[in-house]
Chain A
Amino acid sequence: MKPFFQDLQLISLYDKVKARERLSGEDGVTLYRSRDLLGVGFLANLVRERLHGRRAYYIYNQHLNYSNVCINGCRFCAFGKTGGHPQAYTMTLDEIFARVRERLNEPITEIHIVGGLHPELPFSYYLDMLRGIKAMRPEVHLQAFTAVEIAHLADIAGLSVADTLTALKEAGLGSLPGGGAEVFSPRIRGSLCPTKLSAEGWLAVAKTAHRLDIRTNATMLYGHQETAAERVDHLIRLREAQDDTGGFLTYIPLAFHPKNTHLPDLPETTGVDDLKNLAVARLLLDNFPHIKAFWIMIGVKMAQLSLAFGADDIDGTVIEERITHMAGAQTPQGLTRAQLLHLIREAGCEPVERDTLYNVIGS
């Protein structure tokens, strides 16, 4: 017997999902527009359980946002500041190393490093940063610099993207975070972040990294001015890139936070939209191993719920996250391991601590 769907359009999608057929862009729009939230969640959960059972991954990591000085001036960003801004900051290498040193006693497996596009810092700053951290914590995986930062560093260094990545890899870079993808639509990029690396540029950096055996993540910033069709187009382009290289590990939908941005009048994303973005991604991105609900962005309660809507990863015990909190995120700044395990177990899932590359820790 086929399961019941409030939205009859979901029945044919159920057949496709069951048959492991690839969903079309049109299917994606149908999913986004459906009022049957739990029907969409049910479909996403079929895929999630097929891939991961009831496992819920988390990571013990440390976030470092080395500088908020940024030449991009994206309208959706509350973090980036121009150089002379009173809230602008740039950490010295010593400050960065101090941050790492003060948590040396913690079982951190990943340090996640993201910053603005600083106009003056030399390429050596980044290389020295990676080398210095690796010297202190050789076992730690460095997930550092989004594709947008990589393209900027290539400009600064006067190197090709491939040579830049190679140099960074030699200095200790492990993988790239998925930020800066925003929404690939040229309409949205032209309106919200006209000076940012283009969609093609972003995808080119990611693919280059994959060819150099550097895994990367992918994201989409949703909940501002984008349409359902633009979201779907973004996902399809990621799916095509993944068909080429297979280098993406995880897709993370990022909820737009309007406070302190140039779009302060937009509402926060809603719970339904947060869950839809996870579920639709799980269904469309059939070649992505993991879908992550970043609890910093959507809150602990939503992150727990996301485990029923396609997500298999809820990030980690993140201490000191600045980018979203500058945009008024109400979530706590850190979550203990005990809290995390409680959340996962209440959701009937099995907590699995992972490293960056999804190797299971402690087993």
Chain B
Amino acid sequence: MKTTAAHLEEKVTAGERLSRQEALSLWDLDLLTLGRWADRSRWRLHPDPLVTYVVDRNINYTNVCVSGCRFCAFFRPPGSPEGYELDAAALDRKIRETRELGGTGVLLQGGLNPDLPLSYYEDLVRHIRGCGLHVHGFSPPEIVYWARQSGLDIEQVLTRLIAAGLGSIPGGGAEILVDRVRQALSPNKCSAAEWLEVMAAAHGLGLKTTATMMFGHLETREERTEHLFRIRDLQDDTGGFTAFIPWSFQPDNTALGGEAAGSWEYLKTLAVSRLVLDNIENIQVSWVTQGGKIAQVALSFGANDFGSTMIEENVVAAAGVSFRLSEAEIKHLITAAGYEAHRRDHLYRMAEMERGRGVWRAGGGPEVPRPSPHEKAPRLAVIARVGAHRDFLEKGVAYLGGEAHLTPFGHSNPVHLFEHQGLVFAVLSRHGEDRYAVSAAYVNDRANLYALKNSGVEKILAWCAPGAINEAMGPGHLVAPDDILDETRGEPYTFFPKKGLGFIRQNPVFCPELRRAVIRGLKRAPFPWHPQGVYVATSGPRLETPVEIRKFRTLGGDLVGMTLAPEVFLARELELCYAALCYVVNYAEGLKDRPFQPGVLFEGLAAPEEVALVQKVEGAFADLVLGLLPEMAAAPRVCPCVKLMERYRLRGDIGQDWRTWFK
């Protein structure tokens, strides 16, 4: 079929993924059409009128560089009298200024300096990180150069920098990720494949990075498009890019020279980037190269992020372009364009969300250790009882930090990140951090699940404590339920009220692969366990009447609790793998003759010897989970869970990016 503007518009309107050929034909469209399409994508991805920016500073630690790129006016070759390496006093002055201006981090970049060993960079990162600033540092060419210099491989270099406190990597040095162009522009710089390899390795180690593109020199539009697809493909694999930042080559004082691309070409490229990179959340304007006016206008052409305050900028300035914006000016430009300006951190989290970190410090619990500097994305999560994260803290599991997320469904409970044997996992307490503060029916399941998914979680283990309807499942037993009877009422059951979405088949209701993994792990557990069971979900908080239990038993129920529904159904709407592990805490009403006892849990429904058994399981919670993690991680995502919303995607009801589904 011939690619026409109408066909493209249909796809863009439906939020569908563009092919290479379709992307290429975008360039022939007029600026306003492209801009209006990109603007629609922007609103689909970011339904709120927010534009983010970060307060940080650029630090260019050296301008000595062996690369000699023809588009660069900043570098000096080794031995040049104009070469510099920042000394400690200058560095500390810059750090102090950054902190005084309320900066949360630094963008650290320099040339490929042959005189500096890897330990120099480790010390540099450790020092800045030690001053409490996030280090958004280096770029793939620097990492590749140091790997060659030190004889280490890329992952080893990254691991050492991460250990020193590197927090994220800016996406510089990408220029155009096509080797023909790189050969002509910067033959001494890392290849396109190497650039992507560094980013893939960084993402694999849990580091977030950005990606950039410098256009408007020797590249063709085909090559510009190819660049976008290489980024999009890697993002499909890793999900590690936070933002994409295109900018135009600034020719003054460079060996290459020539005319700079105009604002027209810049905005066109920005819009095409937004349309092609459907899997990258943020598109950032380049006010440094375009100036405040065009940067502001760019917010209508697909961009949703204003970049950073920079404080100083040396690289573009060396090419004769020196735009400068203070935080106040950035905020003015954003608000004058009709958006709310929000500060973010280097991982594109808004300041309000960071304030949510205070939540887990509240209360009289133990002192929570400082999060370690590196930020990693969890693939696994455990949703469990009150203060579940403390069990892991007490076991000494490496703690990476925790925060409540602000979601379209309100604040989530805090999501705590831990790392165990290389596996990063999230822990979320449904009912509160310090005490049973939220009863089951009022847990904000949607915010919690959104927050987990937004953190990168793919698989969830739900830990819960039902009563037994089936007498074979005694208190202290573990059960991996395989079906659910939903007797809840009134909770928000769906992410898509009044939207006609969510007709999801529920057989099997729990992820079969994840359940298999849990069962494999249970075989090593020192408790009686059952590989099957029908879980009856009620709303509570009251307990069940005797006849309700008889009814549930008649219907085939084995366990009764207030936890798994609608949580499991909501998780499935987000295409998350979800399995439950229940530990039985009592016999349900009417199974045993238990007199009423005032003032104790369940008013005497559980006998003291049963309570003791249950406490043994509770005490083993952290060990059980740690034992299950490798099995969970190994579970292949070949289950139906990942395609539960596919029909709506195909139909164009929802886009590729799940965050856009709720608008």
In the bound complex, how far is the Cα of B291 from the Cα of A301, in angstroms? 9
| A23 in the interface (beta carbon within 8 A) | no
Q: Mark B318-359, 1 if CB is under 8 A from A, else 0.
A: 000000000001001100111000000000000000000000
* Interface pick from A38-46, A103-111, A196-204: A38-46
In the bound complex, how far is the Cα of B290 from the Cα of A157, in angstroms? 49
- CB pair A271 B40 closer than 8 Å: no
The answer to whether residues A42 and B32 also contact, given A6-B43, A271-B297, A305-B267 and a CB cut-off of 8 A, is yes
13 new A-B contacts, CB < 8 A, other than A273-B336, A302-B297, are A3-B36, A35-B337, A37-B297, A38-B39, A39-B36, A42-B36, A267-B336, A270-B293, A272-B300, A299-B293, A301-B263, A308-B264, A347-B31
| A18 in the interface (beta carbon within 8 A) | no
- Within the complex, the shortest CB–CB distance from B22 to chain A, in Å, comes to 19
- CB pair B300 A37 closer than 8 Å: yes
Q: Which of B36, B49, B301 contacts A4 (CB 8 A)?
A: B36
- Contact residues of A between 240 and 283, Cβ < 8 Å to B: 267-268, 270-275
| A304 in the interface (beta carbon within 8 A) | yes
| A342 in the interface (beta carbon within 8 A) | yes
Q: List 13 A-B contacts (CB under 8 A).
A: A38-B39, A38-B300, A45-B32, A267-B329, A270-B337, A271-B295, A271-B333, A272-B337, A305-B294, A305-B297, A346-B261, A346-B265, A348-B31
- CB pair B259 A342 closer than 8 Å: yes
- CB pair B300 A299 closer than 8 Å: no
Q: Mark B404-431, 1 if CB is under 8 A from A, else 0.
A: 0000000000000000000000000000
- Within the complex, the shortest CB–CB distance from A250 to chain B, in Å, comes to 22
| B13 in the interface (beta carbon within 8 A) | yes
| B172 in the interface (beta carbon within 8 A) | no
| B636 in the interface (beta carbon within 8 A) | no
**Which residue of chain A has its CB nearest to the CB of B338?**
A35
Number of interface residues of A (CB under 8 A): 32
* Chain B hits for A302, CB < 8 A: 263, 293-294, 297
- Within the complex, the shortest CB–CB distance from A9 to chain B, in Å, comes to 13
| B237 in the interface (beta carbon within 8 A) | no
Q: Which of B35, B40, B263 contacts A304 (CB 8 A)?
A: B263
Number of interface residues of B (CB under 8 A): 33
In the bound complex, how far is the Cα of B398 from the Cα of A343, in angstroms? 57
Q: Mark A1-17, 1 if CB is under 8 A from B, else 0.
A: 00110100000000000
| A298 in the interface (beta carbon within 8 A) | yes
- CB pair A271 B296 closer than 8 Å: yes
| B262 in the interface (beta carbon within 8 A) | yes
**Which residue of chain A has its CB nearest to the CB of B265?**
A346
- Within the complex, the shortest CB–CB distance from B293 to chain A, in Å, comes to 3
The answer to whether residues A38 and B336 also contact, given A272-B297, A299-B291, A299-B293 and a CB cut-off of 8 A, is no
* Chain B hits for A308, CB < 8 A: 30-32, 264
* Chain B hits for A4, CB < 8 A: 13, 36, 40
Q: Which of A35, A270, A299 contacts B333 (CB 8 A)?
A: A270
**Which residue of chain B has its CB nearest to the CB of A255?**
B293
The answer to whether residues A304 and B293 also contact, given A267-B332, A347-B31 and a CB cut-off of 8 A, is no
- CB pair A305 B263 closer than 8 Å: yes
**Which residue of chain A has its CB nearest to the CB of B332?**
A267
Q: Mark A335-347, 1 if CB is under 8 A from B, else 0.
A: 0000100110011
| B292 in the interface (beta carbon within 8 A) | yes
**Which residue of chain A has its CB nearest to the CB of B34?**
A38
In the bound complex, how far is the Cα of B39 from the Cα of A35, in angstroms? 12
Which of B259, B264, B294 is packed against the most chain A CB atoms within 10 Å?
A: B264
In the bound complex, how far is the Cα of B264 from the Cα of A302, in angstroms? 9
* Chain A hits for B40, CB < 8 A: 4, 6
**Which residue of chain A has its CB nearest to the CB of B328?**
A267
* Chain A hits for B43, CB < 8 A: 6
Q: Mark A311-353, 1 if CB is under 8 A from B, else 0.
A: 0000000000000000000000000000100110011100000
